[in-house]
Structure 1
Amino acid sequence: MHGDLADLSGRRVVITGAGRGLGSVLATAFDTAGARLGLVARSEAALDEVAGSLRGEPLVCPGDVRDAAFNESVAAHMVERFGGVDVWIGNAGVSPGVSPVTETTPEAWREIIDVNLTGTFLGARAAAAAMGPGGRIIVTGSVLGARPRAGLAAYSASKSGTQALVAALAQELGPRGITVNAVALGWFDTGLGAHWRRDTERDTGIVDHTALRRWGTPADLPGIYFFLASESSAYVTGTTITVDGGYSLL
């Protein structure tokens, strides 16, 4: 870390869900900070587009985070290319439109739980096997994990599950010097939340329910991930940090 607690240069960072939305924002931010990146998403074309916009030469890993062997291969490729993994950001996620429980199909439920929760677990599992002391596992959560919303039962359950997963993994991996934390995001005007903003009624309701009276922007995102990825957070683990502009307060 070159003596600077906030220095990210040279850090070997995996970002899942990096092909679009918040994941691509994080990829750009960590690249600018000098990290060496492994980018993960299902779409190879989307990953190539993101990678092409970066200054560095990231490792591009198209595949499905629900596949244990794929996650392990990402870790192995990071070790081969960069010599290890310092930070694993489990950011891949899916969210459907609002759907009453009676209209939520078992298939939709399984996909959301499998990507958001099982995929997060499998990524953390692969990361833990490849990391040494000082490793950082960071999970992208949601305020809906603590404050579920009607019509989003599967999504809310998946994000609540990730918070419990983080707490359990922090206890297990702490003796090895690996920290595990979650970032519970509020409503951001990109990625999974973008289609919500196009609905005027929902847009107004969310803004009125947020203390800062606005949606989150890409500029609001990287700072907390930088903190959790750096030596500045060496004594922070098992925590869910909320970044929601005060949505949870009202």
Structure 2
Amino acid sequence: MESWADVSGRRVVLTGAGRGLGRILASAFDAAGAHLGLVARTKDSLDDLAQTLKGDPLVCAGDVRDDEFNGRVARQMVERFGGVDVWICNAGISPEMTSVSDMSPETWREIVDINLTGTFLGAQAAARVMEPGGRIIITGSVIGDRPRAGLSAYAASKSGAHALTQALALELGPRDITVNAVALGWFDTGLGAHWHRDERRENDIVDHTSLGRWGTAGDLPGAYLFLASAASGYVTGTTLTVDGGYSLI
């Protein structure tokens, strides 16, 4: 069983790798022996991350909303490593809470374009080069299934990502490519960090989480490593919730 969860030698694209949860995942997959393609908007953040890793990752700076950029990432992975086994659609944004009355159309479009359209374009690029046994993993959120006031655009984008996961799983299943999402709860790093610094909001999250605490860096990689490995070969179209029981209360 232990060898089934091995990702050593797997060729993994990770978007949103430059900061927060993306950096945690990059470190975990690097430590597990994967060959990484790191994607983020700024090259400086990726170069800084690459210096902390044992392997020699491919660094690709660009916008996940650009279909040509996603295609270029896929081609460079093929040229560098011979293919793509895993594509983790992790890039996303979540601004401060904004009421529906105050949200600008530009803010709505940016959130939906990055969190949902960018996810689709990454999955599309992956599907074009993946062979049987490939894995597409989408970073979702408990907010996609349990929205909060003031996060309408973010909730819509993540709910859409969960539905997209199921649709892609149906389409790519006959090719033996699995597609799953990880619905994250509240972590003390990444997009949730500014909430964690607000005592009222921090306590509100704790009070509504079964385990009575926020997620930490160590709570994150296991779900992704599982979904990227042979251990999850018969798991597809699933949203794996990693939230400490937040969605239960």
TM-score, reference length from structure 2: 0.99
Equivalent residue for 1:129?
Answer: 128
Equivalent residue for 1:44?
Answer: 43
Give the match's secondary structure for 2:3.
Answer: coil
Equivalent-residue separation in structure 1 for 2:230 and 2:38 (angstroms): 22
Deviations 1:130-156 (A, max 9, x none): 100000000000000000110000000
1:237 pairs with 2:236: yes
Runs of 4+ in 1 over 2 A off after TM superposition: none
1:187 pairs with 2:189: no
Deviations 1:108-142 (A, max 9, x none): 00000000000000000000001000000000000
Equivalent residue for 1:31?
Answer: 30
1:7: how far off? Answer: 1.1
Equivalent residue for 2:5?
Answer: 6
Letter in 2 for 1:79: V
Deviations 1:186-235 (A, max 9, x none): 00000100000111100000001000110000000000001000000000
Equivalent residue for 1:70?
Answer: 69
Count of residues paired in the alignment: 248
Letter in 2 for 1:194: A
1:4: how far off? Answer: 2.1
List gaps (5 residues or longer) in structure 2: none
Letter in 2 for 1:128: A
Letter in 2 for 1:70: F
Equivalent-residue separation in structure 2 for 1:80 and 1:19 (angstroms): 22
Give the match's secondary structure for 1:101.
Answer: coil
Equivalent residue for 2:215?
Answer: 216
TM-score, reference length from structure 1: 0.99
Deviations 1:13-43 (A, max 9, x none): 0000000000000000000000000000001
1:243: how far off? Answer: 0.2
Give the match's secondary structure for 2:183.
Answer: strand
1:106 pairs with 2:89: no
Equivalent residue for 1:79?
Answer: 78
Give the match's secondary structure for 1:248.
Answer: helix
1:120 pairs with 2:119: yes
Letter in 2 for 1:150: A
Give the match's secondary structure for 2:4.
Answer: coil
Equivalent-residue separation in structure 2 for 1:150 and 1:7 (angstroms): 40
